[in-house]
Chains A and B, each alone.
Chain A
Amino acid sequence: AQSVTQLGSHVSVSEGALVLLRCNYSSSVPPYLFWYVQYPNQGLQLLLKYTTGATLVKGINGFEAEFKKSETSFHLTKPSAHMSDAAEYFCAVSEGTGGFKTIFGAGTRLFVKA
């Protein structure tokens, strides 16, 4: 069975500092991995995805994530936090493209201090 663990339900950083949100997964098959963001009163928005190929994935708003199979990790980073990055972030895993349910982590709420 697949599962996702996000380390830290809340992360606080200063504006301009590095953002690091941790995600570990388990999957019995090659996983498809996703990061979603939810801004207040909005739906889930896809930040980036890993399916196959290059293990460093770049997404929107300056975020990127690296798939490390040996560590079963898919951590999300951004070099310099902006106030507008304050939101809740969800790591997710799926067995494949389309047609398969997605398993989500519990979410990490990111706070950005001025």
Chain B
Amino acid sequence: EAGVTQFPSHSVIEKGQTVTLRCDPISGHDNLYWYRRVMGKEIKFLLHFVKESKQDESGMPNNRFLAERTGGTYSTLKVQPAELEDSGVYFCASSPAGVGIQYFGAGTRLSVL
């Protein structure tokens, strides 16, 4: 069974550009989460989808970040326009309904220059 996959593994962009990160959860997992780790700090929650609906987006830093989950399958996280402070590693995780374990992807390392 395939795990959580994230694309790209690394993205380098200039300030002001747009970047889209993608996450493919484990098949059948209703819950999908996005987290971010900035420069050696703690991993912070961004948002949580249940199927295609946003359950909790309290961690989204500002309106430059837009997350979608099409048809309850894969999810994208768009940053537009990117700022220097957006640099970090973005993790995606998924879990089945009613199960307390989240399965994490390898992350996307975003570098904004």
* A residues with CB within 8 A of B: 4, 32, 36, 41-46, 49, 51, 90, 94, 96-107
A-B CB proximity, top 5 nearest:
A97-B100, A44-B104, A43-B106, A104-B43, A101-B45
Q: How far does the alpha carbon of A49 sit from the alpha carbon of B99 in the complex, in Å?
A: 12
What is the chain B residue whose CB lies nearest that of A42?
A: B106
Contact of B101 among A41, A43, A46, A99 (CB under 8 A): A46
CB of B107 closer than 8 Å to a CB of A:
yes
In contact, B33 and A101 (Cβ under 8 angstroms): yes
Complex alpha-carbon distance, A102 and B107, angstroms: 16
The answer, among A41, A42, A102, for a CB contact under 8 Å with B102, is A102
Cα distance, A103 to B102, chains bound together (Å): 12
A46 to B105 Cα, complex, angstroms: 12
Q: For B45, what are the chain A residues with a Cβ–Cβ distance below 8 Å?
A: 101-103
- A97 CA to B48 CA, complexed, in Å: 14
Specify the chain A residue showing the minimal Cβ separation from B58.
A101
Given A43-B106, A43-B107, A104-B44, decide whether A49 and B33 contact each other with a Cβ distance below 8 A. no
B107 contact set on A, CB distance < 8 A: 43
- Stretch of B13-21, B73-81, B89-97 on the interface side: B89-97
- Bound CA–CA A44/B36 (angstroms): 12
Task: Say yes or no: A43 contacts B104, CB within 8 Å.
Answer: yes
Which residue of A has the minimal Cβ distance to B45? A101
